[in-house]
Chain A
Amino acid sequence: MVAAAVAAKNGKRVTLLTLGAGTLTIGGGIIDVLGYGDEGVPLATPRAGLLEVGPEHPYKKIGPVAIEESLRFFKEICAAEGYPYLGSLDEMQWVPTAAGTFKPTCLIPKTMDTTQLNSATNVVVLGFEELKDFYPHLITKNFKNIPGFQDKNYEMVMIDPGLADGRDVTALDVARWLDTPEGLQDCIKQMSTRLKPDSVVIIPPVLGTRPDYVIADSLAQALSCTFVETAAVPPSITGFRLRTMLLSYVKKLGVRIVEQAAVARSIVENGKCTAVVTDGIDRERTYYAKAFILANGGFYGGGLVAEPGHAQEPIFKLPVAAPEDHELWANPNLFSNKPQPFAKIGVAVDETMRPLDENGKVVLTNVFVAGRNLQGYDFCFEKSGNGVALASGYQAAMSMDREIK
């Protein structure tokens, strides 16, 4: 969506073909730029980490200037949509998670700002009755093992969203409860009998599903407390908000979105792509364009397909390097101080974000690649998922603007 937004702002007529709603509601709405270096050493700042990335890493191809610009562009979107994010490359944000850990990230909604949390002596961990994927006791216990958090006093509070009469409850259900005026009032009422003013409160990400701070501000004002949302398992509410915000922005720019579009192949002439073809259940449809940005994800999203001993990019048939011996795809241990080889499999690109063959030559002059289908980084290990997506999406569109007339 960022790529589409950039292209549209540069005056292009953009069509966005998508199969599925994207994975933002899985991965979450915070922008991880870079949290860990090699060997799993935590970085002091994202900027420090960017200096250290290897030559294959997408950040190396994109370059520090464009990365910085992409963050600035993202913040412009947030400002325009009324949902500002905090953070910069010069500060690592350590945000709390539902597992009682902290994770390093870069840009966050203000509901995840931990400034007050860090200096607080008393912390409330607030859960909701029936809510399945949030365990205050787990969080409290694990916080007590974290340097700087061992000496705080913790209290657990439970609020009842009145959802006991239905299905198993997710954070999305609680967030939607708070979306309603009745729900918000009920919550404030319950909280006012349980929370003292000036408390710092850890809560699951339930401060509404809309990309704004209306609910967060209402609660903060009504109770004079600071609420800090945690990162949590899917469905991710922060991701939901981010997606809503980006969609709203790109639609305002006149980007045409075609849903349920399964792009199956491309039509290439003389090293240039002239069209892509979707394979619908009824028939094929051909979309002609001057340039194409491939941002359809990695193995998960379907942008890359894995077979025993090889991987492929199905639309443009771009070369993807993968070990023939499938035993080399994965470390013996799931978690270790090394990234996973299979996570780094992808398409090689140059600084223009165009795909390269085995000899380093550009394969298609008007195709640009962005996101997880890029080679050279393990976003789970180093905490760089949305950051690479943002920066590469931005750079792919900017580069396209420069290269394609």
Chain B
Amino acid sequence: MKKHHNNPDSCTACTVCIAHCPVTAATNQFRGPKMVGPALERMRLSQEDVEPSLEYCSNCKNCDMSCPSGVPISTLNMLARAKLFKTRKHSKRDYILSHGEQAAKLAAMMPFGAALANMGMDMSRGILKMIGISDKAPLPPYARASFIKQFKALRQQSYPDKVVFYPGCFINYNDPKVGMDFVAVMQANQYEVIVESDLVCCGSPLVVNGFLDEAEANAKINIQILKKWTDQGIPVITCCTSCGLMLKQEYQELFHIEGVEEYAKHLYDAGEFLLELYDKGRLNTNFGTLNEQYMYHAPCHLRAQGMGLPGLELLELIPGLEVKDVDAGCCGISGNYGFKDDKYDIAMKIGAPLFAKLKESGLSTTISECGTCRLQIAHGAQVKTLHPMTVVRKAYEKYGK
């Protein structure tokens, strides 16, 4: 899978991607991944035109995963979208949804900024709907203190073994507890966690709305900072699967940045990293018994990374813990797709079988590595959600009690 050609050459028009695309199943307005991606790409190389249903692709990667020919279908769609916006203005809606980091930073700068911003968001759902952000979608509130702020206030134990943590915007501004849980878990394994506050948004929300140049600028910044560490062999860990996919895969598929292949070798998902420690006998297995039952949802962007479901496997090591994979496909939100007013219903329709299965299970909490998946699941299935790191930390803390 090393060399991603940005051409549709291997496509055999087999329709397998159509069969597995969740958006195709949910709306007949989308002409399907095969048509919008590789088929029209051949036309795009020689003609100027616009495919109206290009905006329906959610970049969930199910098409890429199902393709027997290795065609990077969703990448073709994202690149086509970027090309489209070279000659077209972005909507305010797309701008806001893609630049969440900027808004969050602003909010973080003011005293009580987060609380005010949250209030503002609640009150202005009607206004937001007018510019195209759904008033029903689960827009995430800001946390009172960002992860970076909390991390700086923490006194970590220093260890010779280190990892760099890339929190990403969601964990940093909306769900910092996950980041703190991760740090605690690493500490329990005698790792010191390094956090670089100059890291910027991975760019995933920018790419899906066609802000490719900005995403590339972000990529260059992130790679430059992270390479300092990966060049020394120090791994970079993510707890958000969309950030992980972006940093190690989409940076290679979308851009041509020097050194990116080398740096990608050192990028890990948190669950994946801990499992590798386990394989080496290095993992702290002093887990307390958690007699608890959970459902687990595998984010599409995790499945797309070709490492199976490490979070789920890691949780199997915790005694007493029962975690069942709901195995019900895409939750529908795919980043900021489900926040859009005209895509909200599609997103909910996509996630409907998942929500139904979760409700049926009778279990009150679902575990998942992806922040927006957690939002969507909480919204659609009315269950609580957790990140695997939270559960692992709990098991460590329970040990001996």
Pair B15/A25 contact, Cβ less than 8 Å: yes
Pair A26/B28 contact, Cβ less than 8 Å: no
Cross-chain contact of B16 among A23, A297, A302 (Cβ < 8 A): A23
CA A235 to CA B20, docked complex, whole Å: 10
Cross-chain contact of A20 among B16, B265, B303, B305 (Cβ < 8 A): B16
Pair B265/A282 contact, Cβ less than 8 Å: yes
Q: Which of A166-186 contact B (CB under 8 A)?
A: 166-170, 172-173, 176
Cross-chain contact of B308 among A234, A256, A279 (Cβ < 8 A): A256
**Per-residue A-contact encoding for B64-95, CB less than 8 Å = 1, 0 else:** 11111110000000000000000000000000
Q: Which of A149-174 contact B (CB under 8 A)?
A: 163, 165-170, 172-173
Cross-chain contact of B252 among A23, A240, A257, A281 (Cβ < 8 A): A281
Instruction: Tell me, rounded to whole Å, the shortest Cβ–Cβ distance linking B250 to chain A.
Output: 9
In the complex, B4 has a CB within 8 A of chain A: yes
Which residues on A sit within 8 Å (CB–CB) of B270? none
Interface-side segment among B29-37, B133-141, B182-190: B29-37
CA A235 to CA B21, docked complex, whole Å: 12
CA A350 to CA B277, docked complex, whole Å: 41
Given contacts A26-B15, A281-B249, A300-B68, contact A167 B1 (CB under 8 A): no
In the complex, A285 has a CB within 8 A of chain B: yes
Pair A234/B264 contact, Cβ less than 8 Å: no
CA A273 to CA B66, docked complex, whole Å: 28
In the complex, A222 has a CB within 8 A of chain B: no
Q: Which of A307-340 contact B (CB under 8 A)?
A: none
Cross-chain contact of B28 among A21, A22, A166, A300 (Cβ < 8 A): A166
* Closest residue of B by beta carbon distance from A164: B28
CA A238 to CA B249, docked complex, whole Å: 34
In this complex, the member of A163, A167, A278, A285 whose beta carbon has the largest number of chain B beta carbons within 10 angstroms is A167
In the complex, B45 has a CB within 8 A of chain A: no
Q: Is the interface of A mostly helix, strand, loop or mixed?
A: loop
CA A173 to CA B64, docked complex, whole Å: 21
Q: Which of B121-141 contact A (CB under 8 A)?
A: none
Interface-side segment among A1-9, A111-119, A137-145, A259-267: A259-267
CA A169 to CA B32, docked complex, whole Å: 11
Pair B18/A260 contact, Cβ less than 8 Å: no
Which residues on B sit within 8 Å (CB–CB) of A25? 15-16, 19-20
Pair B18/A170 contact, Cβ less than 8 Å: yes
Q: How large is the interface on B (under 10, 10 to 19, 20 to 34, 35 or more residues)?
A: 35 or more
In the complex, A301 has a CB within 8 A of chain B: yes
CA A300 to CA B14, docked complex, whole Å: 10
Which residues on B sit within 8 Å (CB–CB) of A259? 65, 303-304, 306, 308
CA A256 to CA B307, docked complex, whole Å: 11
Pair A260/B28 contact, Cβ less than 8 Å: no
Pair A21/B14 contact, Cβ less than 8 Å: no
Instruction: Tell me, rounded to whole Å, the shortest Cβ–Cβ distance linking A181 to chain B.
Output: 13
In the complex, A13 has a CB within 8 A of chain B: no
Which residues on B sit within 8 Å (CB–CB) of A278? 306
* Closest residue of B by beta carbon distance from A21: B66
- Work out how many contacts link A and B, with CB atoms closer than 8 A: 114
Pair B19/A235 contact, Cβ less than 8 Å: yes
* Closest residue of B by beta carbon distance from A18: B65
Which residues on A sit within 8 Å (CB–CB) of B15? 25-26, 170, 234-235
Instruction: Tell me, rounded to whole Å, the shortest Cβ–Cβ distance linking A300 to chain B.
Output: 7
Pair A258/B25 contact, Cβ less than 8 Å: no
Given contacts A20-B67, A281-B249, contact A172 B18 (CB under 8 A): yes
Pair A165/B65 contact, Cβ less than 8 Å: no
Instruction: Tell me, rounded to whole Å, the shortest Cβ–Cβ distance linking A59 to chain B.
Output: 25
Pair B19/A176 contact, Cβ less than 8 Å: no
Pair A281/B28 contact, Cβ less than 8 Å: no
Instruction: Tell me, rounded to whole Å, the shortest Cβ–Cβ distance linking A369 to chain B.
Output: 19
In this complex, the member of A15, A20, A23 whose beta carbon has the largest number of chain B beta carbons within 10 angstroms is A20
Which residues on B sit within 8 Å (CB–CB) of A261? 306, 308
Pair B2/A21 contact, Cβ less than 8 Å: no
Pair A281/B25 contact, Cβ less than 8 Å: no
Given contacts A235-B15, A257-B308, A259-B306, contact A281 B68 (CB under 8 A): no
Instruction: Tell me, rounded to whole Å, the shortest Cβ–Cβ distance linking B308 to chain A.
Output: 4
Pair A23/B1 contact, Cβ less than 8 Å: no
In the complex, A402 has a CB within 8 A of chain B: no
Given contacts A23-B16, A167-B30, contact A282 B249 (CB under 8 A): yes
In the complex, B327 has a CB within 8 A of chain A: yes
In this complex, the member of A169, A172, A256, A259 whose beta carbon has the largest number of chain B beta carbons within 10 angstroms is A259
Cross-chain contact of A234 among B14, B67, B303, B325 (Cβ < 8 A): B14
Instruction: Tell me, rounded to whole Å, the shortest Cβ–Cβ distance linking A258 to chain B.
Output: 4
Pair A173/B28 contact, Cβ less than 8 Å: yes
* Closest residue of B by beta carbon distance from A300: B68
Instruction: Tell me, rounded to whole Å, the shortest Cβ–Cβ distance linking B29 to chain A.
Output: 5
CA A297 to CA B68, docked complex, whole Å: 10
Pair A167/B53 contact, Cβ less than 8 Å: yes
In this complex, the member of B15, B31, B308 whose beta carbon has the largest number of chain A beta carbons within 10 angstroms is B308
Q: Which of A262-278 contact B (CB under 8 A)?
A: 262, 278
* Closest residue of A by beta carbon distance from B325: A251
Instruction: Tell me, rounded to whole Å, the shortest Cβ–Cβ distance linking B248 to chain A.
Output: 4
**Per-residue B-contact encoding for A280-304, CB less than 8 Å = 1, 0 else:** 1111010000000000010011100
Given contacts A176-B25, A280-B306, A300-B12, 16 further A-B contacts (CB under 8 A): A20-B65, A21-B19, A21-B67, A166-B27, A167-B35, A169-B28, A240-B19, A256-B313, A259-B65, A259-B303, A260-B1, A262-B1, A281-B248, A283-B265, A285-B307, A302-B68
Could you name 13 residue pairs across A and B whose Cβ atoms are closer than 8 Å?
A20-B65, A20-B66, A26-B14, A167-B31, A167-B53, A176-B25, A234-B14, A235-B18, A256-B313, A281-B249, A282-B264, A300-B68, A302-B68
Binding site for A on B (CB under 8 A): 1-2, 4, 12, 14-16, 18-20, 25, 27-32, 35, 53, 64-70, 248-249, 252-253, 264-265, 267, 303-308, 313, 325, 327
In the A-B complex, list the 8 residue pairs whose CB atoms are closest, starting with the nearest: A166-B28, A21-B66, A260-B306, A258-B308, A20-B68, A283-B265, A235-B15, A25-B19
Binding site for B on A (CB under 8 A): 15, 19-23, 25-26, 163, 165-170, 172-173, 176, 234-235, 240, 251, 256-262, 278-283, 285, 297, 300-302
